Amino acid sequence: MDMTKETKIVLAWELYQSGISQTKIATDLSHHRETIGIWIKGIKGVGLSQFIENYLQAKKGPRIGRQIDPQIKNWIWDIRDTERECCGQKIQYFLKKDKDIHVSVPKIYEVLSEKYQLKSKWKKNQPRGAVPVADDKRQVVQMDTVDFGELFAFTAVDIFSKEIDVMLLPGLTATDGQLFLHTAMKRRFNNFVELIQTDGGPEFKAEFHVDTRLFSHRHRLARPYKKNEQSYIESFNRSFRKECLGWGKYRASQLPELTVEVNEYLNWYHYRRPHLGLSLKTPLSI
Protein backbone atom coordinates (compact mmCIF):
# COMPACT_ATOMS: atom_id res chain seq x y z
CA MET A 1 0.00 0.00 0.00
CA ASP A 2 1.29 3.48 -0.91
CA MET A 3 2.29 5.68 2.00
CA THR A 4 0.85 9.15 2.41
CA LYS A 5 3.24 12.09 2.24
CA GLU A 6 2.76 12.75 5.98
CA THR A 7 3.78 9.15 6.75
CA LYS A 8 6.88 9.52 4.60
CA ILE A 9 7.83 12.73 6.43
CA VAL A 10 7.54 10.98 9.80
CA LEU A 11 9.50 7.96 8.56
CA ALA A 12 12.20 10.18 7.05
CA TRP A 13 12.64 11.97 10.36
CA GLU A 14 12.84 8.69 12.31
CA LEU A 15 15.41 7.25 9.90
CA TYR A 16 17.44 10.46 10.08
CA GLN A 17 17.43 10.29 13.90
CA SER A 18 18.65 6.69 13.62
CA GLY A 19 21.74 7.89 11.78
CA ILE A 20 20.67 6.96 8.25
CA SER A 21 22.09 9.30 5.58
CA GLN A 22 19.76 11.60 3.65
CA THR A 23 20.88 9.95 0.41
CA LYS A 24 19.84 6.49 1.68
CA ILE A 25 16.54 7.88 3.01
CA ALA A 26 15.80 9.49 -0.38
CA THR A 27 16.48 6.20 -2.17
CA ASP A 28 14.30 4.17 0.21
CA LEU A 29 11.39 6.62 0.03
CA SER A 30 11.72 7.28 -3.72
CA HIS A 31 12.23 11.01 -3.28
CA HIS A 32 14.91 13.46 -4.35
CA ARG A 33 17.67 13.98 -1.79
CA GLU A 34 16.99 17.72 -1.84
CA THR A 35 13.36 17.10 -0.82
CA ILE A 36 14.47 15.00 2.14
CA GLY A 37 16.89 17.75 3.11
CA ILE A 38 14.08 20.33 3.08
CA TRP A 39 11.94 18.12 5.31
CA ILE A 40 14.76 17.54 7.81
CA LYS A 41 15.66 21.22 7.95
CA GLY A 42 12.02 22.21 8.44
CA ILE A 43 11.47 19.70 11.23
CA LYS A 44 14.62 20.89 12.99
CA GLY A 45 13.28 24.41 12.86
CA VAL A 46 9.70 23.98 14.15
CA GLY A 47 9.39 20.38 15.32
CA LEU A 48 7.76 17.38 13.66
CA SER A 49 4.12 18.12 14.60
CA GLN A 50 4.27 21.77 13.58
CA PHE A 51 6.06 20.95 10.32
CA ILE A 52 3.38 18.43 9.32
CA GLU A 53 0.65 20.93 10.25
CA ASN A 54 2.33 23.63 8.17
CA TYR A 55 2.73 21.16 5.30
CA LEU A 56 -0.94 20.18 5.31
CA GLN A 57 -2.02 23.83 5.54
CA ALA A 58 0.14 24.72 2.55
CA LYS A 59 -1.59 22.04 0.49
CA LYS A 60 -5.02 23.68 0.93
CA GLY A 61 -6.12 25.78 -2.03
CA PRO A 62 -4.27 26.66 -5.23
CA ARG A 63 -0.73 27.95 -5.17
CA ILE A 64 -0.11 31.55 -6.20
CA GLY A 65 2.34 31.80 -9.07
CA ARG A 66 5.60 33.57 -8.47
CA GLN A 67 5.21 37.22 -9.43
CA ILE A 68 7.71 39.22 -11.43
CA ASP A 69 8.61 42.85 -10.83
CA PRO A 70 6.74 45.21 -13.21
CA GLN A 71 10.01 46.98 -14.02
CA ILE A 72 11.53 43.71 -15.18
CA LYS A 73 8.46 43.13 -17.35
CA ASN A 74 9.01 46.50 -18.99
CA TRP A 75 12.67 45.66 -19.57
CA ILE A 76 11.69 42.37 -21.23
CA TRP A 77 9.20 44.14 -23.51
CA ASP A 78 11.71 46.90 -24.30
CA ILE A 79 14.40 44.37 -25.23
CA ARG A 80 11.94 42.56 -27.46
CA ASP A 81 11.25 45.83 -29.30
CA THR A 82 14.75 47.33 -29.44
CA GLU A 83 16.59 44.11 -30.29
CA ARG A 84 14.45 43.29 -33.33
CA GLU A 85 11.96 40.82 -31.81
CA CYS A 86 14.67 38.53 -30.44
CA CYS A 87 13.81 35.21 -28.77
CA GLY A 88 13.58 34.39 -25.06
CA GLN A 89 17.14 33.07 -24.80
CA LYS A 90 18.52 36.30 -26.23
CA ILE A 91 16.32 38.42 -23.97
CA GLN A 92 17.74 36.43 -21.02
CA TYR A 93 21.25 37.18 -22.35
CA PHE A 94 20.55 40.94 -22.59
CA LEU A 95 18.95 41.07 -19.12
CA LYS A 96 22.08 39.51 -17.64
CA LYS A 97 24.46 41.60 -19.74
CA ASP A 98 22.76 44.99 -19.40
CA LYS A 99 20.85 44.73 -16.08
CA ASP A 100 22.78 41.96 -14.25
CA ILE A 101 19.58 40.05 -13.45
CA HIS A 102 18.55 36.49 -14.26
CA VAL A 103 15.07 35.51 -15.41
CA SER A 104 14.25 32.01 -16.63
CA VAL A 105 13.37 31.59 -20.30
CA PRO A 106 9.88 30.13 -19.54
CA LYS A 107 9.14 33.17 -17.34
CA ILE A 108 10.32 35.50 -20.12
CA TYR A 109 7.93 33.87 -22.59
CA GLU A 110 5.16 34.10 -20.01
CA VAL A 111 5.77 37.85 -19.77
CA LEU A 112 5.98 38.22 -23.55
CA SER A 113 2.66 36.43 -24.00
CA GLU A 114 0.96 39.15 -21.94
CA LYS A 115 1.70 41.70 -24.67
CA TYR A 116 2.53 39.83 -27.88
CA GLN A 117 0.95 37.12 -29.98
CA LEU A 118 3.75 34.56 -30.01
CA LYS A 119 4.16 32.01 -32.74
CA SER A 120 4.24 28.32 -31.89
CA LYS A 121 7.68 26.79 -31.41
CA TRP A 122 9.48 25.46 -34.44
CA LYS A 123 9.18 21.69 -34.65
CA LYS A 124 12.48 20.00 -34.07
CA ASN A 125 13.84 16.82 -35.59
CA GLN A 126 12.54 17.47 -39.09
CA PRO A 127 14.29 15.60 -41.91
CA ARG A 128 17.22 17.55 -43.39
CA GLY A 129 19.31 17.15 -46.47
CA ALA A 130 23.08 17.09 -46.49
CA VAL A 131 24.76 20.39 -45.65
CA PRO A 132 28.43 21.41 -45.78
CA VAL A 133 30.36 20.87 -42.56
CA ALA A 134 32.92 23.27 -41.10
CA ASP A 135 35.01 23.07 -37.93
CA ASP A 136 36.74 26.44 -38.31
CA LYS A 137 36.32 29.86 -39.88
CA ARG A 138 36.74 30.40 -43.61
CA GLN A 139 36.03 26.83 -44.60
CA VAL A 140 32.51 27.14 -46.02
CA VAL A 141 30.62 30.26 -47.12
CA GLN A 142 27.07 29.96 -48.44
CA MET A 143 25.65 32.69 -50.71
CA ASP A 144 22.16 33.51 -51.87
CA THR A 145 19.89 36.39 -52.96
CA VAL A 146 16.67 37.89 -51.57
CA ASP A 147 14.10 39.62 -53.81
CA PHE A 148 13.00 43.09 -52.67
CA GLY A 149 11.21 44.23 -55.81
CA GLU A 150 13.49 46.49 -57.87
CA LEU A 151 16.38 45.68 -55.52
CA PHE A 152 18.05 42.40 -54.64
CA ALA A 153 20.01 41.59 -51.48
CA PHE A 154 23.06 39.43 -52.14
CA THR A 155 23.81 37.59 -48.88
CA ALA A 156 26.66 35.42 -47.59
CA VAL A 157 27.38 33.58 -44.34
CA ASP A 158 30.40 31.78 -42.91
CA ILE A 159 28.64 28.68 -41.57
CA PHE A 160 31.10 28.28 -38.68
CA SER A 161 31.57 31.82 -37.35
CA LYS A 162 28.12 33.04 -38.54
CA GLU A 163 29.75 36.20 -39.92
CA ILE A 164 27.63 37.61 -42.73
CA ASP A 165 27.74 40.12 -45.54
CA VAL A 166 24.90 41.78 -47.44
CA MET A 167 24.96 44.00 -50.51
CA LEU A 168 21.95 45.60 -52.21
CA LEU A 169 22.06 45.76 -56.00
CA PRO A 170 19.51 46.74 -58.64
CA GLY A 171 20.21 43.71 -60.83
CA LEU A 172 20.34 39.92 -60.65
CA THR A 173 22.93 39.11 -63.30
CA ALA A 174 26.20 37.21 -63.12
CA THR A 175 27.97 40.58 -63.26
CA ASP A 176 26.06 41.68 -60.14
CA GLY A 177 27.02 38.39 -58.49
CA GLN A 178 30.63 38.95 -59.49
CA LEU A 179 30.58 42.42 -57.88
CA PHE A 180 29.17 41.00 -54.65
CA LEU A 181 31.69 38.16 -54.64
CA HIS A 182 34.66 40.54 -54.87
CA THR A 183 33.17 42.93 -52.29
CA ALA A 184 32.19 40.32 -49.70
CA MET A 185 35.37 38.28 -49.94
CA LYS A 186 37.58 41.36 -49.50
CA ARG A 187 35.72 43.16 -46.74
CA ARG A 188 34.39 40.20 -44.73
CA PHE A 189 36.01 36.83 -45.50
CA ASN A 190 39.73 37.68 -45.76
CA ASN A 191 39.88 37.05 -49.52
CA PHE A 192 39.79 33.24 -49.35
CA VAL A 193 37.66 30.32 -48.14
CA GLU A 194 37.88 26.63 -48.94
CA LEU A 195 34.37 26.28 -50.41
CA ILE A 196 31.77 28.70 -51.76
CA GLN A 197 28.30 27.22 -52.11
CA THR A 198 25.36 28.76 -53.98
CA ASP A 199 22.20 27.67 -55.71
CA GLY A 200 22.02 27.44 -59.48
CA GLY A 201 20.61 30.93 -60.09
CA PRO A 202 21.90 32.95 -63.08
CA GLU A 203 23.57 35.44 -60.73
CA PHE A 204 25.94 32.66 -59.61
CA LYS A 205 27.05 31.52 -63.08
CA ALA A 206 29.32 32.89 -65.83
CA GLU A 207 31.49 35.72 -64.43
CA PHE A 208 30.65 34.83 -60.84
CA HIS A 209 31.58 31.17 -61.28
CA VAL A 210 34.85 32.00 -63.04
CA ASP A 211 35.95 34.40 -60.29
CA THR A 212 35.19 31.97 -57.44
CA ARG A 213 38.56 30.42 -58.35
CA LEU A 214 40.22 33.61 -57.11
CA PHE A 215 38.69 33.25 -53.66
CA SER A 216 38.17 29.52 -53.01
CA HIS A 217 39.29 26.01 -53.86
CA ARG A 218 35.84 25.05 -55.14
CA HIS A 219 32.44 26.44 -56.07
CA ARG A 220 29.69 23.97 -55.21
CA LEU A 221 26.10 24.23 -56.46
CA ALA A 222 23.43 23.06 -54.02
CA ARG A 223 21.13 20.43 -55.51
CA PRO A 224 17.84 21.74 -56.98
CA TYR A 225 14.85 21.54 -54.64
CA LYS A 226 17.18 20.70 -51.72
CA LYS A 227 16.87 23.98 -49.78
CA ASN A 228 18.23 22.34 -46.64
CA GLU A 229 21.63 22.18 -48.31
CA GLN A 230 21.54 25.99 -48.06
CA SER A 231 20.11 25.92 -44.53
CA TYR A 232 22.54 28.43 -42.99
CA ILE A 233 22.00 31.15 -45.58
CA GLU A 234 18.24 30.46 -45.77
CA SER A 235 18.08 30.88 -41.99
CA PHE A 236 19.99 34.15 -42.19
CA ASN A 237 17.76 35.41 -45.02
CA ARG A 238 14.71 34.93 -42.79
CA SER A 239 16.45 36.79 -39.96
CA PHE A 240 17.48 39.56 -42.35
CA ARG A 241 13.88 40.08 -43.49
CA LYS A 242 12.57 39.99 -39.94
CA GLU A 243 15.25 42.16 -38.36
CA CYS A 244 16.08 44.59 -41.14
CA LEU A 245 14.19 45.14 -44.41
CA GLY A 246 11.03 43.14 -43.82
CA TRP A 247 8.87 41.60 -46.55
CA GLY A 248 8.17 44.77 -48.55
CA LYS A 249 9.19 45.74 -52.07
CA TYR A 250 11.50 48.69 -52.73
CA ARG A 251 12.28 50.99 -55.64
CA ALA A 252 15.74 51.22 -57.15
CA SER A 253 15.84 54.90 -56.17
CA GLN A 254 15.83 53.83 -52.49
CA LEU A 255 19.19 52.06 -52.84
CA PRO A 256 21.33 54.72 -51.03
CA GLU A 257 19.13 55.01 -47.93
CA LEU A 258 18.58 51.26 -47.70
CA THR A 259 22.32 50.62 -48.01
CA VAL A 260 22.86 52.81 -44.94
CA GLU A 261 20.22 50.79 -43.08
CA VAL A 262 21.81 47.50 -44.12
CA ASN A 263 25.28 48.64 -43.01
CA GLU A 264 23.87 49.62 -39.59
CA TYR A 265 22.29 46.17 -39.39
CA LEU A 266 25.60 44.46 -40.23
CA ASN A 267 27.29 46.34 -37.41
CA TRP A 268 24.52 45.42 -34.96
CA TYR A 269 24.53 41.78 -36.10
CA HIS A 270 28.28 41.30 -35.67
CA TYR A 271 28.86 43.21 -32.43
CA ARG A 272 25.56 43.24 -30.52
CA ARG A 273 23.29 40.36 -31.55
CA PRO A 274 23.94 37.10 -29.64
CA HIS A 275 23.68 33.97 -31.78
CA LEU A 276 22.13 30.75 -30.46
CA GLY A 277 24.50 28.72 -32.63
CA LEU A 278 27.45 30.40 -30.90
CA SER A 279 26.25 29.81 -27.32
CA LEU A 280 24.86 33.35 -27.19
CA LYS A 281 28.08 34.98 -28.30
CA THR A 282 28.29 37.51 -31.11
CA PRO A 283 29.95 36.45 -34.40
CA LEU A 284 32.98 38.68 -33.89
CA SER A 285 33.56 37.60 -30.28
CA ILE A 286 34.68 34.03 -31.05
Query: What is the tally of structural domains in the chain?
Result: 3
Same domain assignment for residues 210 and 82? no
Residue 92 structural domain: 70-113
**pLDDT-derived band of residue 132, with 50, 70 and 90 as boundaries?**
confident
Same domain assignment for residues 278 and 190? yes
pLDDT for 65 = 58
What digits encode the pLDDT tens for the residues 231-271?
A: 899 999 999 999 999 999 999 999 999 999 999 999 999 99
Phi, psi of 79 (to 5 degrees): -65, -40
**pLDDT-derived band of residue 131, with 50, 70 and 90 as boundaries?**
low
Q: What is the DSSP letter of 217?
A: E
Report percent pLDDT > 90 for the chain: 61
**pTM of this prediction?**
0.66
Same domain assignment for residues 195 and 219? yes
Residue 65 lies in a domain: no
Please state, in angstroms and as integers, the Cα–Cα distance from residue 83 to each residue in 1, 31, 86, 119, 166, following that order: 56, 43, 6, 18, 19
Is the pLDDT assigned to residue 273 strictly greater than 80?
yes
Mean pLDDT across the stretch 198-210? 93
pLDDT for 128 = 46
What digits encode the pLDDT tens for the residues 13-49?
A: 999 999 999 989 998 888 888 889 999 999 999 999 8
Same domain assignment for residues 149 and 15? no
Same domain assignment for residues 265 and 164? yes
Asked if 132 and 143 touch (Cβ cutoff 8 Å), the reply is no
Residue 189 lies in a domain: yes
Name the burial class of residue 135, with classes exposed (0-12), middle (13-18) and buried (19+) by CB atoms within 10 angstroms of its CB. Answer: exposed
Residue 127 lies in a domain: no
Residue 123 lies in a domain: no
Q: What is the signed CA dihedral for 119, 233, 222, 252, rounded to 10 degrees?
A: 100
Same domain assignment for residues 81 and 174? no
Residue 19 lies in a domain: yes
Q: Are strands 151-158 and 216-221 parallel, antiparallel or unpaired?
A: unpaired
Q: What is the DSSP string of 155-176?
A: EEEETTT--EEEEEES--SHHH
CATH number of the structural domain spanning residue 267: 3.30.420.10
The C-alpha atoms of residue 244 and residue 159 are separated, in whole angstroms, by 20
Same domain assignment for residues 47 and 98? no
Is the pLDDT assigned to residue 221 strictly greater than 70?
yes
**pLDDT-derived band of residue 119, with 50, 70 and 90 as boundaries?**
low
Final residue before a domain boundary, out of 16, 38, 58: 58
